Amino acid sequence: MTSAPFPATDPSRRALLRAGAGLALAPTLAATAAAAAGAPDGSADGLASAVRGAAPISGDERRVRIEKAQQMMQAQGVGALLVEAGTTLDYFTGVRWWRSERTTAALIPARGEVLIVTPAFEEPSVRETLSVPAEVRVWNEHESPFQRLAQGLTDRGVQGPVAVEATTRYFIVDGLARASGHAVVAGDPIVRACRLIKSPAELALLSLANRVTLEAIRRTRAEVRTGMTQHDIAALIDRFTGALGGQSDGALVLLNEASAYPHGSIQPQTVAEGSVVLIDCGCRVQGYVSDISRTFIHGTPTARQRQVWDTVRKGQDVALAAAKLGEPVGRIDDAVRAFYEKSGWGPGYRLPGLPHRTGHGIGLDGHESPYLVHGDETPLAPGMCFSDEPGLYIPGVFGIRLEDCWRMTEHGPETFTPLARSIDDPV
């Protein structure tokens, strides 16, 4: 993660599962992204150098984001947007901060200067990542941050309701409403419209993060040995990710029967001859997240394992083939389920089959809208980024998940990294 990492109070699903365990159509491939990322030789050393030299999103780009949000607020009659610590605060201001009982938040007025409110003793740290012009008002331990926010609204002459970013915690929403008297409305339409389409700078960072993760999986697979536990393998992923310059988002490693459950099991798991090894992991580069899964067999695959693996790999192709500009993103999920049902899986979410959506949006959050799920009517547009992960699971036996991230372009979908070639050569 980056400085003052968000997972301090917002752990990923992978981290939660590890803790519970007692630490417990082929698209254009991303060879083009390698050149754009500054590693012309494609080597691991070149990749690590590119990652360590990657520039954060500029202050100028963040100011453009703020201006876009302000224009939407003016058009919608909204007075200001409230954003507490988290990825949206980073998106607009560059401030990378975690959530706790002490409120750190930004008010973006429809007109005028951004206001940051934070504990007095945290101000120097918050300013370290602040990348846009903003007033910073502090509060001491016996004082109310909500009074600071309310006064900021008054001083800026804010009229109308305050839009609140969707993940903002209730005590902050309630505190601001009580202190200011302003009505509160949903801010998701504004935030989502800004974050939905990734800029070239964002795409470059996503490309780097995905390349790091795929290389970490490749190195890890070469080190897997009989007798290893899921924790041993996860530690390898973390080590190789760090060596390549990425900040690990944690690795979910599922062995044997545990692979039949998409987010795993707390039961001890050990590699043996013929074991299914499912690795789902990601990292961050300047805050932007990767998410890749690979499943392989330790030893010689059975005919059934090979058949299921090949079906999932074809499911990825079906998803990408269904990605059409202007079409609702939910139709991608519909296409995959139709293919699986014809192959004898499901129907729908029934097991054996695909019990989860085909994919999710990705950017500063590992999971963000829109989602590749039936009923999501968001029209597919250039610059949107997603995962492609139509896994198949047989309860009590094993599961196969292959996952790669892709972006939509004017010419169709492009993956950030090469798709798996075969069960024998999955990375």
Kindly report, residue by residue over 220-266, the tens digit of the pLDDT.
Answer: 999 999 999 999 999 999 999 999 999 999 999 999 999 999 999 99
> Are residues 14 and 63 located together in one domain of the fold?
no
Within-domain flag for 34: no
How far apart CA 415 and CA 405 sit, in angstroms, is 6
How far apart CA 417 and CA 426 sit, in angstroms, is 12
Q: Are 30 and 211 in contact (CB under 8 A)?
A: yes
> Are residues 147 and 201 located together in one domain of the fold?
no
Within-domain flag for 310: yes
Question: How high is the mean pLDDT of the chain?
Answer: 92
> Are residues 370 and 223 located together in one domain of the fold?
yes
> Are residues 160 and 211 located together in one domain of the fold?
no
Within-domain flag for 296: yes
> Are residues 256 and 292 located together in one domain of the fold?
yes
Flag the least confident range among 37-41, 97-101, 228-232.
Answer: 37-41
Q: What pLDDT is attached to residue 58?
A: 97
Within-domain flag for 262: yes
> Are residues 286 and 302 located together in one domain of the fold?
yes
Q: Which of 142, 141, 95 is nearest to 114 (CA)?
A: 95
> Are residues 237 and 332 located together in one domain of the fold?
yes
Q: Which of 90, 240, 67, 256 is nearest to 165 (CA)?
A: 90
> Are residues 191 and 314 located together in one domain of the fold?
no
> Are residues 104 and 202 located together in one domain of the fold?
no
Within-domain flag for 36: no
Q: Which residues contact 226 (CB under 8 A, 6 or more apart)?
A: 271, 272, 273, 298
Within-domain flag for 140: yes
End-of-domain residue from the set 145, 171, 195 = 195
- pLDDT reading at 40 higher than 60: no
Within-domain flag for 303: yes
- pLDDT reading at 320 higher than 50: yes
State which residues form the domain around 126: 59-195
Within-domain flag for 32: no
Reduced to 3 states, what is the DSSP secondary structure of residue 254? strand
> Are residues 202 and 234 located together in one domain of the fold?
yes
pTM to 2 decimal places: 0.90
Question: What is the total count of domains within the chain?
Answer: 2
Q: Which of 126, 124, 121, 120 is nearest to 98 (CA)?
A: 126
How far apart CA 130 and CA 128 sit, in angstroms, is 6
* Buried/exposed 5-33: b ≥16 CB within 10 Å, e otherwise: ebeeeeebbbbebbeebeebeebeebeeb
Mean pLDDT, residues 155-170 taken together: 97
Q: Which residues contact 59 (CB under 8 A, 6 or more apart)?
A: 94, 131, 132
Q: Which of 246, 117, 93 is nearest to 176 (CA)?
A: 117
End-of-domain residue from the set 179, 195, 211 = 195
Cα dist from 312 to 14, 30, 167, 341, 392, whole Å: 22, 21, 33, 13, 7
- pLDDT reading at 20 higher than 60: no
Phi, psi for 407 (deg, rounded to 5): -120, 150
DSSP 306: H
End-of-domain residue from the set 195, 211, 230 = 195
> Are residues 178 and 65 located together in one domain of the fold?
yes
Task: Give me the amino acid identity at 264.
Answer: G
Note the pLDDT tens digit of each residue in 357-397: 999 999 999 999 999 999 999 999 999 999 999 999 999 99
Q: Are 116 and 126 in contact (CB under 8 A)?
A: yes
Q: What pLDDT is attached to residue 42?
A: 52
CATH number of the domain where residue 237 is located: 3.90.230.10
How far apart CA 125 and CA 100 sit, in angstroms, is 15
How far apart CA 360 and CA 371 sit, in angstroms, is 4
- pLDDT reading at 1 higher than 80: no
Cα dist from 414 to 36, 103, 156, 376, 419, whole Å: 14, 40, 44, 21, 11
CATH number of the domain where residue 115 is located: 3.40.350.10
> Are residues 309 and 389 located together in one domain of the fold?
yes
| Cα angle, residue 344 at apex, residues 261 and 312 outer, rounded to 5° | 55
